[in-house]
Amino acid sequence: MDENKKVVVNLPEGTTQAEIIVREGEAPAVLDPKAPVKIDLSGVIGAPVEFLEKRLSEADQINPKRCHVLVDREKVCITLVTNENDEYTTGRVVGRLSQHPKFAEFGINAGKGWEPNELGQFFKMNRAFFPDKTANMKLVTELKNFEATVNSKVEKQKSEKGDFKDNYSGVVMSNLPEAFTLQIPIFKGMPAETIEVEFYASVNGRDVTLQLVSPGACQLLEDLRDRIIDGQVARIRELSPEIAIIEQ
């Protein structure tokens, strides 16, 4: 340090004593300014409500008159947009109602084909979703010892006018029950639902493929979707009536 360099220090009026600290070396580099971190979150359908409950008291983060909510029932999602008029700080919190992975794994109403023995092994490993464990064990045994009789009927007819009929029909009779019961969550984050599932058999020569169908699950999917979304929208209105809610 140059000992002959003069340093002028101006002290506030009335100050009688002060301490001055002199450091040698280069001053630390000034950090480059950065844009604010935007909120970009996604989760289960209740994510926007959860965010509002915890952040609504923060005036610098949530201004209800500068927020809006988009409701898309077809895609089954709710999007909360914050600071909508500020490109630097605008944020999004997306909540989606997704099918539970285990429900999807069963392939109910999805056209998924199962070989009987394969389905029996799958049911055995997923016994937790059967309310009646004894019925599960019986069903597993029936699938592993699957027997089916295919009654086929061929009808061919041709008239002198050229009209013709060529029909083939088959009825599969097996040792399986007409239906069984599952207790399984349909959507992520939701409690388990009790549904009745039926077998649908497809015949291709000697091979029989089983599909799982459930008309009740179809109706339940629609009812649950609207009920859950309506509940979330009502909760947002309760938390902050000033937030605009737009149905898409």
Q: Is the pLDDT of residue 2 over 70?
A: no
Please check whether residue 189 lies inside any domain of the structure.
yes
> Domain count of the chain?
2
Query: Same structural domain for residues 92 and 105?
Result: no
* SS3 assignment, position 183: strand
Confidence of residue 167 (pLDDT cuts 50, 70, 90): very low
Query: Same structural domain for residues 114 and 207?
Result: yes
- Better-scored residue on pLDDT, 161 or 91: 91
Asked if residue 79 lies in contact with residue 243, where contact means CB atoms within 8 angstroms, the answer is no
Q: Is the pLDDT of residue 118 over 50?
A: yes
With the C-alpha atoms ordered 110, 114, 120, 121, is the resulting torsion angle positive or negative?
A: negative
Please check whether residue 210 lies inside any domain of the structure.
yes
Query: Same structural domain for residues 115 and 205?
Result: yes
Q: Is the pLDDT of residue 177 over 70?
A: yes
Query: Same structural domain for residues 112 and 204?
Result: yes
Confidence of residue 163 (pLDDT cuts 50, 70, 90): low
When mean pLDDT is compared across 8-22, 74-88, 154-168, 171-185, the lowest value belongs to 154-168
* Contacts with 57 (C-beta within 8 Å, 6 or more apart), sequence order: none
Q: How many CB atoms lie within 10 A of CB 157?
A: 9
**What does the pLDDT average to over 125-134?**
96
Asked if residue 85 lies in contact with residue 66, where contact means CB atoms within 8 angstroms, the answer is yes
DSSP H or E segment with residue 215: helix 215-239
Q: Is the pLDDT of residue 165 over 70?
A: no
Please check whether residue 204 lies inside any domain of the structure.
yes
DSSP H or E segment with residue 155: strand 148-158
Query: Same structural domain for residues 56 and 106?
Result: no
Query: Same structural domain for residues 135 and 198?
Result: yes
* SS3 assignment, position 178: coil
Query: Same structural domain for residues 125 and 186?
Result: yes
Query: Same structural domain for residues 110 and 184?
Result: yes
Please check whether residue 23 lies inside any domain of the structure.
no
Q: Is the pLDDT of residue 150 over 60?
A: no
Tell me the pLDDT tens digit for each residue of 186-225: 988 789 999 999 999 887 777 788 999 999 999 998 888 8
Please check whether residue 161 lies inside any domain of the structure.
no
Q: What value does the mean pLDDT of the chain take?
A: 85
Asked if residue 210 lies in contact with residue 201, where contact means CB atoms within 8 angstroms, the answer is yes
Query: Same structural domain for residues 56 and 133?
Result: no
Asked if residue 81 lies in contact with residue 65, where contact means CB atoms within 8 angstroms, the answer is no
**pLDDT given for residue 32 in this prediction:** 79
Would you say the pTM of this structure is higher than 0.75?
Answer: no
* Contacts with 161 (C-beta within 8 Å, 6 or more apart), sequence order: none
Please check whether residue 26 lies inside any domain of the structure.
no
Please check whether residue 71 lies inside any domain of the structure.
yes
Tell me the pLDDT tens digit for each residue of 15-66: 777 777 777 777 777 777 777 788 899 998 999 999 999 998 887 778 999 9
With the C-alpha atoms ordered 248, 42, 190, 121, is the resulting torsion angle positive or negative?
A: positive
Query: Same structural domain for residues 120 and 184?
Result: yes
Its domain, for residue 212, covers 101-148+173-218
Asked if residue 112 lies in contact with residue 212, where contact means CB atoms within 8 angstroms, the answer is yes
Residue 227 has which token pair?
Answer: 């009920």
Please check whether residue 160 lies inside any domain of the structure.
no
Query: Same structural domain for residues 72 and 179?
Result: no
Query: Same structural domain for residues 134 and 49?
Result: no
